[in-house]
Amino acid sequence: MYKFIFYFLILFTCSVTAGDKYFIYFKDKPVENNSKLFKNSPYYQNALTSISYKAIERRTKLLGDEVIDESDIPINTDYIESIEQLGVEIVWKLKWFNAVSCYINSDKLNEIRSLSFVDKVKPVGKFKLKREPDFVDSREHSTSILKTTELNYGQSLNQVQLSDVPVLHEYGITGKNVLIGLMDAGFRYAEHEALSHINVLATRDFVYGDDDVSNDNDVSHGTGVLGMVAGYKEGELISPAYDADFILAKTENIAVEVNLEEDNFAAGVQWLEAQGVDIISTSLGYNVFDSGENSYTYEQMDGKTAITTVALDMAYKKGVLTISSAGNEGNVSTWKYITSPADGFYTIAVGSVNSANDVASFSSRGPTADGRLKPEVMAMGVGCYSTGPSNMQYRTINGTSVSAPIVAGITAQLLSAFPYLNNAQMRQIIIESGDNVQTPDYDRGYGTVSAARAVSFPNISEEDGQFTINKMFLSISDIDLSSVSIVFLLSPDNIAITELENSNGVFGSPAEGFQSGDTVKFRYSYKDNSGNLHYDNPDKYYSFVYGQKNISLVAVDVINDPVPDNYILNQNYPNPFNPSTTIGFAIPEESHVMITIYNMLGEKVVTLLNEERSEGYYNDITWHGYDSHGRRVASGPYIYRLAAGSHNVVKKLVFIK
């Protein structure tokens, strides 16, 4: 059979036959005098020893001293023994989910479901691979960009130049001391001229249960993804984080049976987190089962349903920055939207653009089923140059599969430059670095990531309760570095200016005189070599809440939990629009909600919603450009307002004929 290399849609197949694989979920974790999470309890200590020292260090950056929670407590061994005594073969113990995956004969199902400690039994999804062409002859179809750095990027220059990666390489920022976990099909790297330099700390094959991740006949996908983040061969391929360390998890089998199983994925995430990875990146997407089975629907792309999605979000809550390709369904009329695990609340979904920074037709669109903005960011995913499965082999690849590792590599560069950053800070900064951050939409999210903007975005470090604001200035040749100052906006009529010293390219300023909960606003000023004064943001101030570490310039609220913390009114999409546009919003509690359109004179045009709504995210309000009398409105700008409880939020939209 002719085999295509996979970079596009992965389809599910889930058949239930004798000896098929199931999840068994248990009702509770072991309890001893309600003290299982006391730090001196054996449960806590066992959980602590089950993760690496690096994992503890990474969790501490986000969670402080509370690095262990109930999800880390092992599954009750009595439950496992009882299951095994029934002749059931357990595959993976998923303590985060208080579940095991196992092979169960059909005649045992009812007996297991009737056990007093079993909560539910569900089949494990077997996802069938859809193979499509994903590469063409690289030397005939690549387009060169004028070389701008001392490194020779060869045919990979387009993909890194679009996201300003070479700028950081010039400063020696290459992902050093950052640990990246990749989840994919097989990886073959040890003998490839562009990959043999990589420091791989651990590997694990969750398909065959060994440590060899290169033993499949088809390792093109994983090897290509690895090359996009870590490849280094002058004149051929230089990727963002070629100095990073790696842990590789093979969770997909594309050699023989082409079955991709979601318990392997969840087990892989759990293992990578315990090893201490800083970043997990996956270029796998799941949505549709085979005919006759229960498929995931778009309505289930809600951040709460797919176990692959939930697994990545749980890793995020333990301090890992999680990244996923958005999917390649943009031009598939029966789907179009993102696939899991890109629908996660915390996972960064990455879409694809071409070398002209136009959205690729295949790149999956947002929103999520519950109305959240996706994808978050973009990177080049059309005609990308990367490694093939054998030494000295290179391929040109299309797909969000190669966009995601570019963003993972840039995030590693960011963390390498500022090792104290936690994953929430990194997520915010990566999103703020997008080129569409002021007008995010469901096609390109916050825009194409810029490594230079990310590393030069200010960030906060903390030591002994003292918060310091840090900023690196890049690629500004006409600047008097001795003139750099930070300008605090204390009130509309009161500013405080502090001159800063350059310490190895980073300007640090203690945030003094503020109390916990205060909103701190600031920007930077500097003089050029002619003595003229400039501001890094002429029209805006950065802001953060003192006691927290996330700085915002534009994207104030970029993480949406299942229950929002406040009232949110999304930018309508599309905008400008004709013939219709969709308005999304979120409310943190049950409220009477009104959404009203006004003209620029403040006169009411039409009320689109006037009813009680429970807390949550909504994306079901559509305006077709008609007023309350059914007349088509004139072209031009309009105001739309969310009124919920005592809260009012307004935004502007534009109707065109």
* Residue 154's pLDDT band (cuts 50, 70, 90): very high
Region 393-422: what's the mean pLDDT? 96
| Percent of the residues in the chain that have a pLDDT greater than 90, as a whole number | 58
Lowest mean pLDDT among 128-132, 421-425, 612-616: 128-132
User: Look-up: residue for tokens 């992902």?
Assistant: 175
* Residue 120's pLDDT band (cuts 50, 70, 90): very high
Where b means 16+ CB within 10 Å and e means fewer, 520-548 reads: bbbbbebbeeeeeeeebeeeeebbbeeee
Q: C-alpha distances in angstroms, 157 versus 137, 151, 162, 192, 456?
A: 17, 10, 8, 20, 22
Region 339-362: what's the mean pLDDT? 95
Residue (of 204, 161, 169, 166) closest to 183 by Cα position: 204
Spatial distance between the Cα atoms of 124 and 260, rounded to a whole number of angstroms = 10
Region 471-487: what's the mean pLDDT? 84
* Residue 353's pLDDT band (cuts 50, 70, 90): very high
The whole-number pLDDT of residue 260 equals 65
* Residue 585's pLDDT band (cuts 50, 70, 90): confident
Spatial distance between the Cα atoms of 281 and 100, rounded to a whole number of angstroms = 24
Residue (of 339, 375, 360, 393) closest to 130 by Cα position: 339
Q: Give the amino acid at 517.
A: G
Region 355-379: what's the mean pLDDT? 94
559: number of Cβ within 10 Å: 17
Q: Are 242 and 214 in contact (CB under 8 A)?
A: no
Q: Are 480 and 468 in contact (CB under 8 A)?
A: no
Q: C-alpha distances in angstroms, 468 versus 13, 63, 116, 506, 544?
A: 52, 19, 54, 12, 12
pLDDT, tens digit, 9 for 90 and up, residues 331-346:
987 889 999 999 999 9
End-to-end CA separation in angstroms for the chain: 52
| Percent of the residues in the chain that have a pLDDT greater than 70, as a whole number | 88
Instruction: For residue 241, give both structure tokens.
Output: 């984080």
Distance of CA 166 to the CA centre of its chain: 23
Asked whether the predicted pLDDT for residue 132 surpasses 50, the reply is no
Lowest mean pLDDT among 21-35, 410-424, 597-611: 21-35
Lowest mean pLDDT among 144-158, 337-351, 469-483: 144-158
Averaged confidence pLDDT in the chain: 86
The whole-number pLDDT of residue 503 equals 85
pLDDT, tens digit, 9 for 90 and up, residues 435-460:
999 889 999 999 999 999 999 999 99
Q: Pick the residue with more confidence: 589 or 341?
A: 341
* Residue 562's pLDDT band (cuts 50, 70, 90): low
The whole-number pLDDT of residue 529 equals 85
Asked whether the predicted pLDDT for residue 57 surpasses 90, the reply is yes
pLDDT, tens digit, 9 for 90 and up, residues 83-102:
999 999 999 999 999 999 99
Region 61-80: what's the mean pLDDT? 91
